[in-house]
Amino acid sequence: MRIPPLFLAPVLACGAGFTGPQSCQPCHAAQYARQWDTHHARALRPMAQSPMAEHFDGQPLRERSGIGFEYRATPAGVAVAITQGQTRVDALLGWAFGAGSKAFTAVGMLDGRYVEHRISWYRASGRFGLTLGHPAQPSPDPATAFGLVQEPGTIFRCFNCHATGVRETPRGPDLGGMIPGVTCERCHGPGQAHVEAAKAGTPPRNSILNPGRFPARQLVNVCAECHRSPNAASASPMPELEDPLSIRFAPVGLMASRCFQKSNALSCVSCHDPHEDPRPAADPAYSRVCRTCHATRAGARAACRRSQAGVNCLGCHMREAAPAPNLSFTDHRIRVYER
Ligand code: HEC
Ligand code: HEC
Ligand code: HEC
Ligand code: HEC
Ligand code: HEC
Ligand code: HEC
Ligand code: HEC
């Protein structure tokens, strides 16, 4: 196992009642040992500490327009020089979003504004490509080629979904008390009161949030704060047909499943340990979850004829699909497919 990175160490520097994951470690060693190196915990890194910096370092890339990008890793991030003939723009990419399980996207600054870089790195191809959502046509000039300017409210939301303890200001995110990545207190809330109570004796139950006490729908909503929920006013019964990209948002599909709607018991943690990366789809644990309802539970039909012991249900009822180049996701609307 790798040694936990040092930059998480100054736990007391964190603001507003956040104490940092290492303060939980002495008493919750089991959760800590599994969580600290997950894709959640690595969902955001300063560029210089992300593997993305190595992918960039020394790369010359060129757009069809002829605009060239040259990258150099520095202790402050990745410096990029963007050139077109005599025009040149220099900028610094300070943040790497994503753990790299599917992709990395770089965020930098230009003229005091946050910019999402036009070029991302994708695991599926092992290469750089256009960032999802960016215009495909060639850029008119180097500054535009750097990427899309993100308004303060938008860039705050990026940081807030990928990190812990981020505060909003009118100028954008306040990163002063931030712990990069989705760590303990992003899901359980600030831990200071609980840590103090626990050190003094037995902590009262309500000293920290335990989503495990929630009914299924509310628990899904904890994950959906970031993984997105269906549009409450017009939740589609077949979201993946209306918008193929919606399969990226697991709660949207899951909440449209009859398994979820009719059981009042299925939630994200039925299949995923929130403190671990997901097991591969081939893992028999998933089909065991299906059988907990479809073998015995009242209200759920007996599983289909094809569901003998040992068969993996997912290939027929919960498939993977690629709604965008280089990105594939598991369609969480559990169902009988048309074909
Ligand atoms: C000094 C020891 C100690 C520290 C530090 C500590 N806890 Fe706890 N925690 C406990 C004890 C004791 C309990 C109650 C017994 C149990 O369920 O394990 C508990 C319970 C919990 C629960 C369940 C609460 C419930 O109502 O079911 C959560 C969630 C939790 N801790 C999260 C955290 C997080 C997150 C941190 C770090 C910010 C943390 N704890 C730090 C000792 C500690
Ligand atoms: C604060 C925002 C946030 C919350 C809350 C959150 N997630 Fe995530 N989750 C993320 C981000 C960001 C990623 C992408 C990490 C990466 O780049 O691979 C992710 C990735 C995942 C993955 C995929 C990891 C991989 O290996 O590809 C699973 C599974 C997951 N989350 C499950 C959950 C569950 C279950 C809950 C609720 C208990 C939850 N998440 C709550 C932000 C969040
Ligand atoms: C509402 C919460 C939320 C916001 C806002 C958000 N993300 Fe994410 N991000 C997630 C979650 C959840 C995942 C994992 C599942 C997925 O891919 O959607 C993720 C995944 C990613 C990934 C990994 C690739 C992938 O698709 O798994 C990158 C890179 C990323 N986000 C960058 C960004 C950037 C840059 C912004 C701002 C422009 C941003 N995110 C805004 C929640 C969010
Ligand atoms: C992505 C959200 C998420 C993150 C990050 C997270 N947890 Fe949890 N945690 C949950 C959920 C959901 C539950 C309830 C379901 C369960 O126990 O699996 C839970 C349950 C717990 C419990 C109670 C376990 C029990 O037996 O009742 C403790 C203690 C805990 N987490 C500690 C931690 C610590 C410590 C960290 C950081 C190292 C952490 N969690 C990170 C979502 C999260
Ligand atoms: C019935 C089981 C099941 C439930 C319930 C479930 N998932 Fe998944 N999830 C899976 C499987 C299977 C995979 C694929 C794992 C792999 O191959 O890496 C997966 C993968 C993911 C991924 C990784 C990206 C992808 O799409 O492959 C994310 C993120 C995720 N789940 C989030 C969630 C969230 C959030 C919830 C609750 C709304 C949830 N899941 C509920 C079975 C489930
Ligand atoms: C918490 C209980 C529960 C779990 C776990 C569960 N289901 Fe279901 N499922 C139900 C209920 C309830 C229904 C609706 C009543 C019925 O048709 O049995 C349903 C319906 C279905 C249907 C019919 C869907 C439709 O649109 O008509 C299929 C197929 C299905 N489940 C497969 C699965 C598979 C595969 C898994 C595991 C990946 C799974 N279920 C996990 C409870 C569950
Ligand atoms: C080889 C593909 C395949 C596999 C594997 C498979 N199913 Fe099915 N399942 C189907 C098809 C097709 C249907 C549609 C009804 C039919 O033809 O029996 C179905 C229907 C269902 C239904 C709805 C039953 C009904 O009366 O309409 C449930 C529940 C179900 N499957 C659960 C499961 C579970 C749980 C597993 C794993 C233990 C599983 N299936 C494995 C193909 C499969």
Q: Could you read off the pLDDT of 135-151 as tens digits, one per residue?
A: 999 999 999 999 999 99
Tokens standing for 226?
């970031």
pLDDT at 338: 84
pLDDT band at residue 10 under the 50/70/90 scheme: very low
CA of 305, closest atom in ligand 7: 18
pLDDT at residue 111 greater than cutoff 80: yes
280 CB within 6 A, ligand 5: yes
Distances (CA, A) of 275 to 29, 101, 187, 224: 12, 16, 10, 16
Whether the predicted pLDDT of 87 surpasses 50: yes
137, 130 contact by CB (below 8 A): no
Average pLDDT over residues 169-197: 96
- Burial of 108-119, coded b for 16+ CB within 10 Å and e otherwise, reads bebeeebbbbbb
Q: Assign 298 a pLDDT band (cuts: 50, 70, 90).
A: low
Residue 232 has a pLDDT of 83
What pLDDT score was predicted for residue 15? 59
**Each residue's pLDDT tens digit, 250-280:** 999 999 999 999 999 999 999 999 999 999 9
The predicted structure's pLDDT at residue 5: 38
Q: Regarding predicted confidence, which is higher, 10 or 94?
A: 94
Mean pLDDT of the chain: 92
What Rg value do the Cα atoms of the chain yield, rounded? 22
d(CA 251, CA 114) in angstroms, rounded, equals: 29
Q: How many whole angstroms from 82 Cα to the centroid of ligand 5?
A: 39
CB of 329 closer than 6 angstroms to any ligand 5 atom: yes
CB hemisphere CA count around 154 (13 angstroms): 9
Distance separating alpha carbons of residues 293 and 302, to the nearest angstrom = 8
Distance CA 117, CA 213 (A): 40
Q: Which residue from 171, 3, 155, 139 is spatially nearest to 61, judged by alpha carbons? A: 139
Q: What percent of the chain has pLDDT above 70?
A: 93
* pLDDT at residue 310, as a whole number: 78
8-22, 61-75, 301-315, range with the lowest pLDDT: 8-22
Q: Tell whether the model's pLDDT for residue 3 goes beyond 60.
A: no
Q: Which residues line ligand 1 (CB under 6 A)?
A: 19, 23-24, 26-28, 184-185, 188, 191, 194-195, 198-199, 202-203, 205, 208, 210
Q: Are 251 and 268 in contact (CB under 8 A)?
A: yes
Residue 156 neighbours by CB under 8 Å, 6+ apart: 166, 168, 169, 172, 173
- Does ligand 7 have an atom closer than 6 angstroms to the CB of 304? yes
Which pair of tokens denotes residue 141? 């000039």
Q: Check pLDDT > 70 for residue 66.
A: yes
